[in-house]
Amino acid sequence: MSDHDAHKEGSVHIVSYGQLVAVWVSLLLLTVTTVAVTRVDLGAGKVWAALAIACVKSGLVIAFFMHMKYEARLFRIIFFVALVTLAVFIGLTFFDVLYR
């Protein structure tokens, strides 16, 4: 299959360098935000805040670097639900360990 045929079928998505750089800068800022959250005394909320930021970061990586942005809507929703479920389970585990 040539590049022209692949592009015609819709399987090739070209993302501009500017958009990729913007996502990368956003990921860096979210990393700085995660570090800043660890410096603030939020109690158990610190874990939830860090997990929320991690969900946003993973969503950006999946959407732009793994091209999930161009998939069907149902597929994107299923991935989002899976990420949130994972974050809740990890958060509940940390919450349990915190109060032992």
What pLDDT, in 10s, does the model give residues 68-95? 887 888 988 888 898 789 888 988 888 8
Q: Tell me, what DSSP letter sits at residue 40?
A: S
pLDDT greater at residue 23 or residue 43: 23
| The two three-digit tokens of residue 55, written as one number | 């969900």
pLDDT at 6 over 60: no
Q: Count other C-beta atoms under 10 Å from residue 40's C-beta.
A: 9
In this prediction, residue 1 carries a pLDDT of 46
Domain boundaries, the chain: 11-98
Q: What is the mean pLDDT of residues 20-27?
A: 94
Q: Count other C-beta atoms under 10 Å from residue 55's C-beta.
A: 16
In this prediction the pTM is 0.64
| Residue (of 63, 62, 70, 61) closest to 12 by Cα position | 70
Q: What is the mean pLDDT of residues 12-24?
A: 86
